[in-house]
Amino acid sequence: MSPSHSVAELRIDNARLLQRIADLGDIGAVHGPNGEHGCARLALTDEDRLGRDLVVSWMRDLGLIVAIDAIGNVVATHPGADPAAAPVMMGSHIDTVRTGGRFDGNLGVLGGLEVIETLQRHGVRTRRPIQVAFFTDEEGARFAPDMLGSLVYVGGMSVQEALDARAADDNARLGDELNRIGYAGPTPCPTADIPHAFVELHIEQGPVLEEQGITIGVVTGVQGISWTELVITGRSAHAGTTPMRLRKDPLVPAAAIAVEARRLAAEMGGSQVATIGRFDVFPDLVNVIAQSVTIALDVRNTDDTLLRNAEAHMMEFATAAAHVEGCTLQTRTLSRFEPVAFADSMIDSVERIARSQGHSTLRLPSGAGHDAQMLARVCPTSMIFVPSVDGLSHNIAEFTEAADIAAGANVLLHMVLELAEPI
C-alpha cells in the first residue's frame, strides 16, 4: 500500500470488531428481562478460561506471537521491521464482575486485535512491534487488589504474593486457580519487554461523555482508589430470647458504617465517592443475632490528601461504632493506589488524533481503575474513552453505541500507527 495518503485514511472494520465483542460476550452471558446482555466471567473461573481461550485463538489466527506469563497475563506481538525496537502496546482485561457488561475491558483488548488485523490486511508495516494484551484479574472482584495482573507485570507486586492471594468468595488460592485453568505461563514477571508506550481503549463507565454529547474522552489520569475489608464481630444469640440491653449485634455498627460512608461522600462533594458493595452476615439466619459482619469499603478521590482524610474518618467512625455495641473490629487493606496522571504528550496526541477524525473531545480523569494506571509506572500511557449509555457499567445493561465503538477504535488505530512509525 502506498503510505502517506492512504495510511491517513485507514479505518478499522467495525462489523468485525462488533462480531468479536458479541462472540466473547456469549461466554458467561447473563441475559436480563429487558434484552440486557451482560457477562459474568470472574477472574480465573471456567468462564474466564473459556474467554481467554477464545481471544488467544483469535490472536493465533492472526499469526501473533502469544506469550503467557507467570501470573497469566497474555501478550500477543505483531512483529515490526525493527525487532529490537520497544513495542507499542494496547490492552485491557477480559475478566468481568458478576453483573458485568460485554464492553468493560473487552473493548480495549478486541479493539487492539482489530487494529492489528486492519494493519495486516492493508499491508501496513511499522518499525516498532505492536502488541495487544489482556491482564489477569483487573477487576479485583474475586482476588484483591484490582489491576493485579498489570501490577505484577510492571513489578508493583511480587508474583509469589499474587499467587498466594485468596478469593473473597470461596477462599481459593489464586495460583491454584491459575494452574487449574491452564494459564500459569512460562514468561517471567515483571516484564523484561518494557513498552515504548501503552494505549488503552475503554468505555467511560460513567455519565459524563453522554451528558455532554461528547464522543471521545481524553483521559488525563485515574483517581485514587482505597479498598478496606472490615470484620465486625459481636456475639450470636437467639433473636427471641435475648433482651436488647444484652445484645452485641455487629449488624448495628455495620449498618451505621454504610450510612456514614454515604453521608461523608455527600459532605465532601467533588470527586469523592464511597461504596459498600460487599456486606456478608454470618450466620445469615432469620432468627440469629449475627456473629459477625464482613463489609468491603471502596472510597475514591482524585486528590490523595482528601482520600486519606476520608479513609481516616471512616476508620475512626467504624472503631467507635463497633465499640459502642460491644463488638470488635478488624480491618485489612485490600487495595490502595494513589491518583495517577498520564503523560501530557500522550494526552495531547489522543486529543489531536480524535479531533483530526472529526470527533468532539473532553479531557477527564477516570473514576474507574484501569490497567493503564499500572503501565503508566513504566512507559508513556494514555486512555481513550467512549460513552456509556446511561453512564452504566458493572451492570448487565452496560452498552456503547456501534458508532462510538468505531470512533474509539479508529483513534486507537492512528494513535498506535503514529507511535509504531509506519515504514
- Give, in order, the Cα–Cα distances in Å from 69 to each of 18, 131, 188, 271: 28, 14, 6, 36
Q: Which of ligand HGY, Mn ion, none does residue 105 bind (CB under 5 to 8 Å by kind)?
A: Mn ion
Q: Which residues of 118-140 are buried (b: 16+ CB within 10 A; e: fewer)?
A: bbeeeebbbebbbbbbbbbbbbb
Nearest partner of 273 among 177, 367, 151, 141, judged by Cα: 367
Consecutive H or E run containing 116: helix 106-121
Query: What is the 8-class DSSP label of residue 391?
Result: G
Q: Which of ligand HGY, Mn ion, none does residue 114 bind (CB under 5 to 8 Å by kind)?
A: none
Nearest distance from C-beta of residue 337 to Mn ion, angstroms: 14
User: Footprint of Mn ion on residues 100-139 (CB under 5 A)?
Assistant: 104-105
The contact mask relative to Mn ion for 277-316 (x = CB under 5 A, - = no) is ----------------------------------------
Cβ-based nearer residue to Mn ion, 154 or 322: 154
User: Footprint of ligand HGY on residues 114-173 (CB under 6 A)?
Assistant: 138-140, 146
Nearest distance from C-beta of residue 320 to ligand HGY, angstroms: 28
Query: Total residues contacting ligand HGY (rule CB under 6 A)?
Result: 6
Nearest distance from C-beta of residue 335 to ligand HGY, angstroms: 8
Nearest distance from C-beta of residue 52 to ligand HGY, angstroms: 18
38 binds ligand HGY (CB under 6 A): no
Nearest distance from C-beta of residue 139 to ligand HGY, angstroms: 5
Which residues in 144-223 belong to E strands, given as ranges? 197-203, 216-222
Nearest distance from C-beta of residue 138 to ligand HGY, angstroms: 6
Distance from the Cα of residue 409 to its chain's centroid: 18
Query: What is the 8-class DSSP label of residue 352?
Result: H
Cα 212 to Cα 210: distance, rounded to the nearest angstrom: 5
User: Footprint of ligand HGY on residues 355-384 (CB under 6 A)?
Assistant: 368-369
Cα 364 to Cα 281: distance, rounded to the nearest angstrom: 38
Cα 242 to Cα 190: distance, rounded to the nearest angstrom: 55
Residues within the interface to Mn ion (CB under 5 A): 104-105
Residues within the interface to ligand HGY (CB under 6 A): 138-140, 146, 368-369
